[in-house]
Amino acid sequence: MTVRAIVFDAYGTLYDVQSVRGLAARLCGDKGELITQIWRLKQLEYTWLRGLMRSYEDFWSTTRAALEFALESIGIAPTPALCDPLMAKYLDLDPYPEAREALGALSGYKLAILSNGSPKMLDALVHASGIAGLLADVISVDRAKTYKPDPKCYELVAPALCVANHEVLFVSSNGFDVAGAKCFGFRVAWIERGGAAAAPEPGPAGFYRLLRARAERLGYPADFRIAALSDLAPLVASLGD
């Protein structure tokens, strides 16, 4: 089947959520690594809770609440002096090194982002990383007022890009997102960012990878497994028309 649109998750797929840890370490010393991992895990958990509770608040608010939880959970007061710079980093996360070149190699397709990020957050990210001009659309789940993996989020793609669902290749490094997109009906490429076959190092980062860098066991596996964004162009070429 023809691929006309390639749609990317943002956080963990195009942008490295772990790039907050350098700043977290500077601000919080040896607790910075633990804060980084608790923050991301709680951020995801809060999106799922808000979706289930049908109590939507945008990703900026949700991310701030998760950060405050992470700090308080290890006995650090969530003061503006700590929270404000850490939140600001989410507007300028490091893109993965191959991201821009990989997107450029796919210029013959409609490229887009579908992300939990709020419009403000995503606009800041794509402009800071210089990829805005490569994208046909930057789709925030804010349009659906819920979070992935709710099918309402994936439903935003086809009308935004004027394509059919079967013409979409969805790309994510997040297992829950892979399962959600596959259950919805997209073809899905999973980027195995954590090196799923390798044993993680001990500590908070290793624990995070054990939970979030592996395929979910829900019966909705990815159609394709790749190691990096740079593997996409050869993959799509191999699918033909």
Phi, psi at 190, each rounded to 5°: -100, 125
Distance of CA 192 to the CA centre of its chain: 13
Tell me whether residue 9 is one of the annotated catalytic residues.
Answer: yes
Of 108, 112, 133, the closest CA to residue 241 belongs to: 108
- Annotated catalytic residue within 9, 142, 150, 177: 9
Helix (H) or strand (E) holding 160: helix 157-161
CA distance 114 to 138: 6
CA dihedral 180, 182, 188, 192 (to 10 degrees): 50
Q: Which two tokens stand for residue 183?
A: 């259950």
Q: For strand 187-191 and strand 94-95, is the pairing parallel, antiparallel, or unpaired?
A: unpaired
Query: Among all residues, which ones are annotated catalytic?
Result: 9
